[in-house]
């Protein structure tokens, strides 16, 4: 079976994470992706240790996480020859992804307005920290800073501790995913209009967009949400609980699940207590309720409590290390770990009934294809 995007040609003039993540996703889905690198290479090739060693090539694991399936072509945009080579590569291309500073490609004649006359069908996706417009458009964008500015860090961490960033560069990743969605929407629209267009993607916009229910809580009430650690602002019990030999997550989402949790913990009276009859009441009475639940969970082992929750259809789960995750039977069954050219990797999550992914090569060596 063919991959869904077979036949599409992508020029990736991007580095670090958000742009390369979009390019890798399109490659996994079958597009031909040509990664344009400076003579020095993508910055992240040096972001280690750890590194993947392949003969004379030594690129970081970080680089390999976002660049599989691509060809690598070295182009020096500062030279007329490099600019001419870029125009040659754009012949027949469907999509260009770039993450230069706003206006950064204009001096090379490679901005959207310079190219749209020659390549009217080109879908040109610009990824920046703050977008092409607004008072911050000139600023460079870094995931850590965006996490702080977007409000994400204000709701992450323990109530009595400092704000915390996410363990991954989450605004970069989400911007890559949103960019892929926008690109494919533009491809669909081009089928009826015959024209490409410019897509303006910003880490800040994407970060604000994913604040989701927490932002809605603020917009509805005028009160900014605060850090709750592992607790949920709208649901309870929905957090981490201690057992006699570790911790687990219990995530009840309705009244029936709450009652079954109480019964399996031997808290029969709580199951029918009017103070906890609805989620709103449980939120209002959260401290007293969670105190009793926590005392009960500490009387059971991690394995014992997880098994009891599963048998009683109470949503619960372990807190895995990466080693635990990749040894998990469900992760193995879904084929989420792959190996390409001797390099381990993480599979894309797409599963199609009538198509296959294009997992054909590991991340390229610098200049491997030109």
pLDDT for residue 231 is more than 90: no
Could you confirm whether domain 9-211+334-346 is CATH 3.40.50.10540? yes
- Judged against a pLDDT cut of 90, whether residue 273 lies above it is answered with yes
Mean pLDDT, the chain, as a whole number? 95
- DSSP-derived pairing of the beta strands 337-340 and 343-346: antiparallel
pLDDT of residue 370: 82
Which regions of the chain carry the CATH code 3.40.50.10540?
A: 9-211+334-346
Total residues belonging to the chain = 370
Known catalytic membership, residue 172:
yes
pLDDT value of residue 13: 97
- For the chain, the C-alpha Rg in angstroms (whole number) is 25
Tell me how far apart the terminal alpha carbons of the chain are, to the nearest angstrom.
29
Residue 229 has pLDDT above 90, yes or no: no
Could you give the residue range(s) of every CATH 3.30.1540.10 domain in the chain? 238-320
Q: Omega of the bond prior to 15 within 30 degrees of 0, cis?
A: no
Share of the chain above pLDDT 70, in %: 100
At 86 the three-state DSSP class reads helix
29 has pLDDT over 90: yes
Dmax over CA atoms of the chain, in Å, equals 79
1 pLDDT exceeds 90? no
50-87 per-residue burial string, b: 16 or more CB within 10 A, e: under 16: ebbeeeebebbbbbbbbbbbbbbbbbebeeeebbebbe
Residue 56 pLDDT: 85
The residue annotated as part of the active site, out of 94, 111, 143, 172, is 172
Contact partners, residue 353, CB within 8 Å, separation at least 6: none
The architecture of the domain spanning 238-320 is 2-Layer Sandwich (3.30)
Mean pLDDT for 30-57 is 94
């Amino acid at each position: 079976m063919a991959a869904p995007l077979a036949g599409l040609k992508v020029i990736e003039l991007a580095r670090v994470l958000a742009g390369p993540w979009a390019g890798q996703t399109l490659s996994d889905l079958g597009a031909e992706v040509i990664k344009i690198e400076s003579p020095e290479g993508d910055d992240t090739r040096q972001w280690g240790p750890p590194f993947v060693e392949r003969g004379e090539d030594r690129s970081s694991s970080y680089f390999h996480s976002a660049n599989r399936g691509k060809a690598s072509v070295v182009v020096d945009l500062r030279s007329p020859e490099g600019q001419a080579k870029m125009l040659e590569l754009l012949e027949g291309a469907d999509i260009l992804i770039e993450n230069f500073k706003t206006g950064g490609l204009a001096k090379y004649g490679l901005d959207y307005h310079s190219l749209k006359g020659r390549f009217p069908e080109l879908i040109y996706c610009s990824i920046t920290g703050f977008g092409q417009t607004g008072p911050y458009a000139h600023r460079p964008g870094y995931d850590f800073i965006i996490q702080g500015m977007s409000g994400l860090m204000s709701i992450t961490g323990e109530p009595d501790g400092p704000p915390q960033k996410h363990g991954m560069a989450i605004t970069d990743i989400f911007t890559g995913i949103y960019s892929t969605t926008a690109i494919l929407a533009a491809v669909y629209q081009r089928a009826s209009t015959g024209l490409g267009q410019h897509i303006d993607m910003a880490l800040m916009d994407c970060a604000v967009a994913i604040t989701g229910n927490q932002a809605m809580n603020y917009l509805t009430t005028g009160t900014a949400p605060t850090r709750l650690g592992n607790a949920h602002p709208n649901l309870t019990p929905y957090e981490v609980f201690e057992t006699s030999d570790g911790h687990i997550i219990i995530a009840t989402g309705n009244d029936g699940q709450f009652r079954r949790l109480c019964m399996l913990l031997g808290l029969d009276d709580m199951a029918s207590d009017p103070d906890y009859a609805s989620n709103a009441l449980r939120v209002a009475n959260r401290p007293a309720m969670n105190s009793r639940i926590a005392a009960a969970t500490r009387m059971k082992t991690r394995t014992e409590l997880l098994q009891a929750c599963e048998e009683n259809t109470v949503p619960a789960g372990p807190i895995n290390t990466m080693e635990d995750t990749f040894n998990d039977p469900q992760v193995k069954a879904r084929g989420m770990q792959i190996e390409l050219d001797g390099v381990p990797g993480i599979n894309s999550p797409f599963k199609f009934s009538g198509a296959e992914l294009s997992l054909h090569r590991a991340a390229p060596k610098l200049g491997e294809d030109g």
